[in-house]
Amino acid sequence: MLRQAFILSGGLGTRLKEKTKNTPKPMLTVGERPFLEYIIWNLKRHGITTIILSVGYLSEQIIKYFDDGSRFGVTIDYVVEKEPAGTGGALLLAKNKLDDIFFMLNGDTLFDINYLDLALQTVNELSSVGVALRYTENVERYGKVNLEGDKIIDFNEKVGHGYGLINSGVYVFDKKLLAKQHILIPSSLEKDLLPSLAKEGHLKGIVYHGFFIDIGLKHSFLEANISVPHWQKKPTVFLDRDGILNIDYGYVYRPSDFDWVDGAIETIKRFNDIGYLVIVITNQAGIARGYYSEEDFYILNEWMNEELRRVGAHIDAVYYCPHHPTEGYSPYRMECNCRKPAPGLIKQALEEWPIDKNNSVLIGDQEKDMQAAHSAGIKGMLFKGGNLLSFMRQILRRIEE
């Protein structure tokens, strides 16, 4: 599944005038960090950890700040435009570094969608580009996208006004299409390449409704300083593992022994789609007892996320307690504050992730899960079996109304 993103970050940002005189637009501070950092954070939590940044204007600032990406939990490489190449030309310059299929994003816009869903709806199409679309109250600034079914037939570039669909600047791209197009340097992705692909029937438009902001104008940049940090503080569904995600056979650690609870995969996908963080909170005393190792546990986590990625879903993080107070072996036999009903794992997640605590919930199948949630100050819901998605509909219905 796709793990690479190409981010267009080389524009001059002339409409912001003095703000971009000494700072490249993606590096403008929003909240307390560069705008581009929010984009990379959002990609990383979806498991998209190989990043290529196309840079040009004041590129040394971007390269110095992000370096190789290790500080942000990703790998970052760069394509440097010695002369302005335009968004289409930048794509051509990066050709030899791109995977066969990759995500592409604008470095000055943020659209909060389930990236893996966009990939899922694109990769089965022969030689296609998936384009994330969004409705807006006024298309005048962006140009209107026209659809027939799910195919983009044309773009009314900066023409017209009123309610309609716009191109959000988030794509899943098939590299084979580059070889079939006559791309020049410089050239424009929006004015040259995409209209050509639309005429040939290669653009699939998929509509999403998540948070969207473009910092290209003064008023939208000022708005971003408030709205982007607020967006990042996300409601979260905390999930116990055994008995919630998988049938609890006792100390499950091998993929061959892991059977998903009915509706568990669909539940994770649905919360991904509506913009929640999905965090697993689990006691794993089998490690203390010597039944399996932490490495075995990590391997199972990776397998779970690979299974989820096949359906456009993911788990953002897993927090686990390997301890037991009286059983097992050193160094795991110990009293700790992370073994539920203690709230240590939840509190750790609250410290490490931007979580909207008041709108978060923990789903567990035992009373100790409820106690941990209460002690951490979040709502707990007791699942007694059956289909997890059906159980969660009471929450989802309230969110979606």
In the DSSP assignment, the letter for residue 261 is: P
Say what the pTM is: 0.95
- Specify the pLDDT at position 237: 97
| Percent of the chain topping pLDDT 70 | 98
- Specify the pLDDT at position 395: 74
Model confidence at 287, in pLDDT bands (50, 70, 90)? very high
pLDDT tens figures, 339-362: 999 999 999 999 999 999 999 999
- Specify the pLDDT at position 126: 73
Give the mean model confidence (pLDDT) for residues 53-67. 97
- DSSP for 263-323 reads THHHHHHHHHHTT-EEEEEEE-HHHHTTSS-HHHHHHHHHHHHHHHHTTT----EEEEE--
pLDDT tens figures, 116-149: 999 999 988 777 899 999 999 888 888 899 999 9
**One fold for both 4-232 and 236-400?**
no
- Specify the pLDDT at position 159: 60
Q: Enter the CATH code of domain 4-232.
A: 3.90.550.10
Model confidence at 8, in pLDDT bands (50, 70, 90)? very high
- Specify the pLDDT at position 398: 65
- Specify the pLDDT at position 294: 98
Spatial separation of the C-alpha atoms in residues 253 and 380, rounded to whole Å = 26
- Specify the pLDDT at position 226: 96
Active-site residues, by number, are 240, 242
| Percent of the chain topping pLDDT 90 | 82
Q: Does position 401 have pLDDT exceeding 60, yes or no? A: no
Spatial separation of the C-alpha atoms in residues 239 and 277, rounded to whole Å = 11
Boundaries of every domain in the chain: 4-232, 236-400
pLDDT tens figures, 312-327: 999 999 999 999 999 9
- Hey, what amino acid is at 266? E
- Specify the pLDDT at position 15: 80
Q: Does position 268 have pLDDT exceeding 60, yes or no? A: yes
- DSSP for 66-100 reads HTTSGGGTSEEEEEE-SS--HHHHHHHHTGGG--S
Spatial separation of the C-alpha atoms in residues 157 and 293, rounded to whole Å = 57
* Main-chain phi, psi angles of 4, to 5 degrees: -115, 140
Least confident of 65-74, 137-146, 154-163, 376-385: 154-163
pLDDT tens figures, 331-344: 999 999 999 999 99
Q: State the CATH class of domain 236-400.
A: alpha beta
Average pLDDT, the chain: 94
Give the mean model confidence (pLDDT) for residues 377-386. 95
Least confident of 121-130, 146-155, 162-171, 271-280: 121-130
- Specify the pLDDT at position 142: 86
- Specify the pLDDT at position 400: 59
Spatial separation of the C-alpha atoms in residues 137 and 132, rounded to whole Å = 17
- Specify the pLDDT at position 138: 84
Model confidence at 195, in pLDDT bands (50, 70, 90)? very high
Q: Does position 112 have pLDDT exceeding 60, yes or no? A: yes
